[in-house]
Amino acid sequence: MNNLKLLNQSEVKKILTMKDVLQAVEDAFGSWGRGEVQMPPKSYLIFDEQNGDLRSMPAYLPGKNAGVKIVTVHPDNTSQGLPTVMALCVLNDPNTGFPVAVMDAGLLTAVRTGAAGGVASKWLAKEGSSEIGLIGSGVQAQYQIEAHLDFMNIDHIKISDPNKQATKDLSDWIKKKDSSIDISVTDIKNACDCDVLITTTPVRNPIVMDSMIVRPHTHINAIGADAEGKQEIEGNLVKRSNVIVDDWTQTSHSGEINVPCHEGWFTKDMVAGEIGTIVAEADSSFKNVLTIFDSTGLAIQDMATANIVLKKAIEKGMGIDWSPLK
Which residues are marked as active site?
69
* CA angle 195–123–184, rounded 5-degree value: 25
Contact 104, 87 (CB under 8 A): yes
Contact 90, 99 (CB under 8 A): yes
Contact 219, 126 (CB under 8 A): yes
Strands 156-160 and 182-185: parallel
How far apart, in whole angstroms, are the C-alpha atoms of residue 312 and residue 303? 14
Q: CA separation (Å) from 76 to 2, 85, 86, 262?
A: 39, 10, 13, 26
Side-chain-side CA neighbours of residue 177 (13 Å)? 21
Strands 273-274 and 4-7: unpaired
How far apart, in whole angstroms, are the C-alpha atoms of residue 91 and residue 67? 4
